[in-house]
Each structure stands twice: as C-alpha cells, then as structure tokens.
Amino acid sequence: MNTQTSKSDHTPVHYRHTQPGYVTVTALLAGMLITYSSFMSEEGQLGMYGIALTSGLGLLTVLFSSLITEVTDQEFRFYFGPGFWTRTFPLDTIQSVEVVRNPIWYGWGIRYTPAGWLYNVSGRSAVEIDLGTEGVIRVGTDEPEQLAQVLTRHVPTES
C-alpha cells in the first residue's frame, strides 16, 4: 500500500487521486473566449462588464480545475482545485459505497440531483456514498473502482 501524508494535517493518506477537470476547464475557457469577444468594443477595448465576466469565469476555471479525493485512517475528504469547497466525512459514518454512472443531465460542478449531492469535474463515473443521517453523495472520479474499494474497507459489516 502506498501511504502518503495529507497536506492539511500530516495524517497518513491511503488513497489520493487528482482528477483533472477537462470538461469544466474546456467549457469555462470557451465561455471566457465568447465573453471576451462579445464585450469587445469596436475600438478594441473590453468594457467593465466584459472584464468582470471574463475575470469571474477565469476564477471559476481555477477553482474547478480538478477534484482531489483522499482517504486517511479516519476520514474521506475531497476538494476542488486549490482547496475550494472541501468536504470531510468520518469513515465510520459510511453506510454503503457503490460505483455508479451519472446520467448526462446531472452535469458537472456542485449540484443537487435526484440521487443526492453531486461533486464532479469531468466524465460521468462516480462513487455513490451513503452517509446515513448525512444523506447520499456522489463524488465524480475517473478511478471509481479504486476509490470504492478503499472506502468499502471501512463500511461496517452486519453480524
């Protein structure tokens, strides 16, 4: 087992994966280009609205550039890009884990779906995690089997 150390608290990390957000980055960069060209005046100047929208899309591109998932001895943690929107769950709250494929209309980003909260930057593969009283979440990943296998080790078994 390849054990690393978490950047946040020096806890041993048993699983760590970074999924690049190809879909979100491509869509946001296209949005920046369209916004830039739409707000460009005939004099070759970008208006205030164009600057604000292009800057906002640039910020979103950085924030949603990747999705990092980590599993330590105690918790499951994931966050976007440089640490934006970090979610942490104790492993002992996990009731079940299942590899799933999201319908295309679930999209990408952070959103509430009929299946629960979805956190995704690219693709349709995800791991659905039942957190008991916390509800059900889906975390997008391009390594769903590996993440599910690591998390399943911590699911309580019925005797």
Give 121's contacts (C-beta < 8 A, 6+ positions apart): 19, 20, 21, 23, 24, 64, 65, 66, 67, 80, 108, 109, 140
Question: Using one digit for the tens of pLDDT, what is the confidence trace for 105-141?
Answer: 998 889 999 999 999 999 999 999 999 999 999 999 9
Distances (CA, A) of 62 to 8, 29, 78, 92, 149: 20, 10, 16, 32, 30
State yes or no: pLDDT of 154 exceeds 80. no
Q: pTM here?
A: 0.80
CA dihedral 116, 22, 79, 132 (to 10 degrees): 20
Token code pair at residue 141: 């990943």
Q: What is the CA radius of gyration of the chain?
A: 18
Question: Using one digit for the tens of pLDDT, what is the confidence trace for 63-113?
Answer: 889 999 999 999 999 999 988 789 999 999 999 999 999 999 998 889 999
The Cβ of residue 17 has, within 10 Å, a number of other Cβ atoms equal to: 17
Q: Say which residue the tokens 């080790």 belong to.
A: 153
